[in-house]
Amino acid sequence: MMNDKKITFVAAREDGFGERLRAMLNAMLLAENFNGKFLFNWEERPIWGREHHSVVSKEETFSADFIDKFYIDKTQLQKMKFGYINNKSQNNWFEEERIKNSDAILVSQHLLSGLQKPAADDIDFINGYKRNFEKIEFSKSLEHAKAYASNIKLKEHSIAIHLRAGDLIYGGSRFHNSIFMEKIAPFPIAIGLIKFLKENNFTPIVFGQDKELLEYLKSEFEVTLSLELSDLSFSVAQQAFFDVVLMSKCEQIFTATDSGFSTLASWISGGEKTKDIYKAFSKEETLIFFESFFKILQQDNNISLLQKAFACWAYIKISGDGLATNEKMRYFLNLAIEYDPENDFYHLVKACSFYKEGKIDDAEEILYQRFCAADKRSLSIVQILNKTFPKISNKTIGYLYLENLKYYANVAYPMAALCAAIIEKAVGNDDLFLHFKKLFMVNDGAKYVDFHKYIT
């Protein structure tokens, strides 16, 4: 039986602040309920990945005593054989060979209350999260931010609106927004929600990183900002922790569907407070928000071009399947390209939309031009087509558009064949890679000779 073996549950996320703490809370609760041991790893993000994140070193995040008791370093982790459980693990997960023969169990950041029996039997996950959050010994600076937020008296019916920006709007992840769109709340929906809440006697409090956008919302709609309620001397990490705790005190939290930060706030509140901002209104109402706001805001310099570009993409994705196949969607896609011309993802979408409409020569020319510029840029169409996400069915960004590309590759269009070959190679479909490589090489001509290196 499970309890005959003392299991070590390890949280070892390397992404954002919210996801790391969520994994820790899961590991702590499982260790508590199965007479196991809890450990955590906390690596600093690489220098290139720190700009848009609030993750700081373990010493700046936790007390020395907490680190001494529960921290495991990366060298030790690499020597261990891990089993893994998540929300889909089966009834007999603790009897599986991968668990029985492992040194420890690596715990995900996702809500584990859906684990099949016996893992979820008699475990009060929500109250357990709240209880164990109080057991984590944070650094003095973060404990100060936590206490500061805890002492703030919010107005009745205060509603949090979490507008994440960071790397998904301003960093490299914006080139992958076909995958990550659901992590960000587009500002047109937020504006519609603010107006609705105020008209119905709620008090919206807006949380976010984009000070330019926040100041715009403050000046135009007289909304309360979490930044106004905090201590101006707070560091980035303190402000993030303050926001988590203050958000947890709100009656509800409107957020993008996959935001670890706001989900953490809900968990530590002892309730389930998050509401999907994409479902706050009907699809028809949501699209009207975008259309009406862009008529007003297209020339407004108080909102950044990259915020506008993302909102344009969100309109296209909400409208349909991620292709711009009618006049309104084409309008928004062209705006996205105007606002973020370096983002080859939007150019890929435009090319695939042209394929869908039968404008094959236009599609081929777009892709040709983006490949011509690929070596001059760090995040080009080549990187986008190659980028894989193993935890998302081993798909690439381009995989979402592969059927269009494959069809025209098979009828002798070289750029479609090149893109299809790169995607199939990235996901390990060697036979299909060779098939599309051959189609490209047969039909490419001298014009495309510089592109051979991408499929060698």
Q: What is the C-alpha to C-alpha distance for residues 271 and 223, in angstroms, rounded to an integer?
A: 25
pLDDT higher than threshold 80 for residue 46: no
Residues near 75 by beta carbon (within 8 Å), at least 6 away in sequence? none
Residue range 93-110: average pLDDT? 71
What token pair was written down for 33? 């309920």
Q: What is the C-alpha to C-alpha distance for residues 347 and 39, in angstroms, rounded to an integer?
A: 45
- Say if CB 440 and CB 455 are below 8 A apart: yes
- Say if CB 289 and CB 192 are below 8 A apart: yes
Q: What is the C-alpha to C-alpha distance for residues 37 and 70, in angstroms, rounded to an integer?
A: 9
Other C-beta atoms closer than 10 Å to the C-beta of 32 total 16
pLDDT score recorded for residue 48? 46
- Say if CB 402 and CB 191 are below 8 A apart: no
If one compares 387 and 419, the residue with the highest pLDDT of the two is 419
pLDDT score recorded for residue 44? 81
Q: What is the C-alpha to C-alpha distance for residues 250 and 262, in angstroms, rounded to an integer?
A: 11
- Helix ranges, 80-210 (H): 97-100, 125-135, 140-150, 166-170, 177-180, 187-199
The percent of residues above 70 in pLDDT, for the chain, comes to 86
User: CA distances (Å), 217 to each of 167, 185, 222, 293, in order?
Assistant: 21, 14, 7, 13
If one compares 415 and 99, the residue with the highest pLDDT of the two is 415
What token pair was written down for 352? 């695939």
What token pair was written down for 294? 């862009």
If one compares 112 and 118, the residue with the highest pLDDT of the two is 112
pLDDT score recorded for residue 390? 54
- Dmax of the chain from CA atoms? 70
Taking only the tens place, the pLDDT of each residue in 27-43 is 998 888 888 899 999 98
- Say if CB 391 and CB 403 are below 8 A apart: no
Q: Which of 6-15, 272-281, 291-300, 304-313 has the lowest average pLDDT?
A: 291-300
pLDDT higher than threshold 50 for residue 110: yes
The percent of residues above 90 in pLDDT, for the chain, comes to 55
pLDDT score recorded for residue 113? 60
pLDDT higher than threshold 80 for residue 159: yes
Q: What is the C-alpha to C-alpha distance for residues 384 and 345, in angstroms, rounded to an integer?
A: 7
Residue range 301-323: average pLDDT? 89
Average pLDDT of the chain to the nearest whole number:
85
Sheet holding 8-11, edge to edge: 37-40, 8-11, 104-107, 82-85
Q: Which of 45-59, 181-195, 430-444 has the lowest average pLDDT?
A: 45-59
pTM comes to 0.86
pLDDT band at 4 (very low <50, low <70, confident <90, very high): low
Residue range 155-179: average pLDDT? 81
Q: What is the C-alpha to C-alpha distance for residues 32 and 13, in angstroms, rounded to an integer?
A: 20
Q: What is the C-alpha to C-alpha distance for residues 387 and 262, in angstroms, rounded to an integer?
A: 27
Three-state secondary-structure class, residue 346: helix
Cα–chain center distance at 394 = 16
What token pair was written down for 77? 């982790």
Residue range 190-207: average pLDDT? 95
> Shortest CA distance to 292 belongs to which of 157, 166, 422, 195?
195
- Say if CB 235 and CB 144 are below 8 A apart: no
pLDDT higher than threshold 50 for residue 385: yes
pLDDT score recorded for residue 3? 46
Sign of the C-alpha dihedral computed for residues 197, 198, 203 and 206 taken in this order: positive
Strand partners, 224: 205
- Say if CB 12 and CB 41 are below 8 A apart: yes
**Structural domains of the chain, ranges and CATH numbers in brackets:** 2-137 (3.40.50), 143-279 (3.40.50.11350), 342-455 (no CATH)
Residues near 262 by beta carbon (within 8 Å), at least 6 away in sequence? 18, 160, 162, 207, 247, 253, 255, 256, 274
pLDDT higher than threshold 70 for residue 114: no
